[in-house]
Amino acid sequence: MISFKDILKHLPFIGQKSVGIALGSGAARGLAHLGILDVLMEAGVEIEFVSGTSIGAFVGAFFCAGKIDELVRFAKNLTSWESLKFADFMIPKNGLIEGKKIEKFMRDHLGDRRIQDLDIPFACVAADYYTGAEVILNKGDLVDAVRASISIPGIFKPVPVNGLLLVDGGVVNPVPVEVVRGLGADYIIAVDISPSIANMTISKDVDNFRQEDMAALSKFRSDGRNLEHSPNIFEVIMGSISIMEALVNTMRLKSEKPDIIIKPDVFDLGLFEFYKYKLGVSRGEEAAKGVLNKIDRFVKRRERALIKAS
């Protein structure tokens, strides 16, 4: 049977739009991506292009390779102890975790697939360690690309790819809206799992943040925290990066204007609590259902346009 998606590919018409999703960075909060994708698929939303950064790249790779069910089964059964098994600690030189175990996990499930051969067009984002430039990985070995995109500076060892030394793309582009637009998507769903900074004002000159911006950042870091608790090195690194990503993300989403932003409430989920599957997924499902009517209206308009054109 010819699918609706196949018909769209071969029958161009005025007003036709393709759906893309940009999956954002945020460590274990990326469990919400699984819930969001499930709701969209159940609703019949055809996702034709995917971009991802860090955990978004990880989930996106499994989705585009047709392996999302395998990832879900694994995540459902992950315990706190088992999650620690993926941390192959090394003597600190350029990272605390070498990353070979997570790489093996991906290789076992994704094999030697190349990005350009995936079922769904995919790209992920990393950053050049030496220049800070955004690097878009849209061809070549899938596992190598994702491994680079998840290489959190200071935690994971940087990854050499195509002659570059790459680190986590979240430091330059936490929710890669323009990347999925570049793949060909017209209607873009952005999934933002970065922290919200309440009442934050971004100055027109992004190089000069106003005093109240920094006060808002300080408030964000202290609200709900036990000031007597001394964060460990992982929390310090991840907390600092999340502040930076929140700033970058606020500016980029404002300028890149995705059609829909899904922002699940996952901020009581620890950045390393990958074993809290039910919590992360349920928050993603709730957030997706909250915007489903808007997406559904677009899908119905698209179907009507197809019928009219045929």
Mean pLDDT, to the nearest integer, of 213-236?
49
Model confidence at 270, in pLDDT bands (50, 70, 90)?
Answer: confident
In a domain, 227, yes or no: no
Lowest mean pLDDT among 199-213, 226-240, 244-258: 199-213
- Quick check: is 248 in a domain? no
pLDDT of residue 176: 97
pLDDT at 26 over 50: yes
- Predicted local confidence at residue 88, as pLDDT: 43
Is residue 6 among the annotated active site residues? no
What end-to-end distance do the CA atoms of the chain give, in Å? Answer: 18
Whether the per-residue pLDDT at 275 is higher than 50: the answer is: yes
Predicted TM-score of the model (pTM): 0.78
The answer as to whether 4 is a domain residue is no
Residue 57 CB coordination number (10 Å): 32
When mean pLDDT is compared over 133-142, 150-159, 195-204, the highest value belongs to 133-142
Instruction: Confirm if 26 and 94 have CB atoms less than 8 A apart.
Output: no
Q: Is residue 208 part of a domain?
A: no
Q: What is the DSSP letter of 171?
A: G
Residue 170's domain comprises 16-196+258-298
In a domain, 62, yes or no: yes
Which of 55-64, 145-154, 166-175, 244-253 is the least confident region?
Answer: 244-253
Identified catalytic residue from 25, 151, 168, 242: 168
Contacts of 231 (CB under 8 A, 6+ apart): 239
The predicted model gives 248-269 an average pLDDT of 87
| 142 located within any domain | yes
% of the chain beyond a pLDDT of 90 = 53
More confident residue, 254 or 91: 254
Of the listed ranges 17-26, 117-126, 149-158, 272-281, the least confidently predicted one is 149-158
pLDDT score recorded for residue 96: 56
Residue reference for tokens 């829909």: 260
> Taking Cα atoms as reference points, which of 108, 5, 126, 133 lies closest to residue 57?
126
Answer for the pair 235, 28: CB distance below 8 angstroms, yes or no.
no
- Active-site residue flag, 168: yes
Report how many domains make up the chain: 1
Question: Looking at residue 154, which CATH number applies to its domain?
Answer: 3.40.1090.10
In a domain? residue 160: yes
Q: Is 117 exposed, middle or buried (0-12, 13-18, 19+ CB in 10 A)?
A: exposed
- Six-digit token string for 109: 């499930």
Mean pLDDT computed over 1-22: 57
In a domain? residue 86: yes
From the candidates 54, 149, 194, 242, give the one annotated as an active-site residue.
54
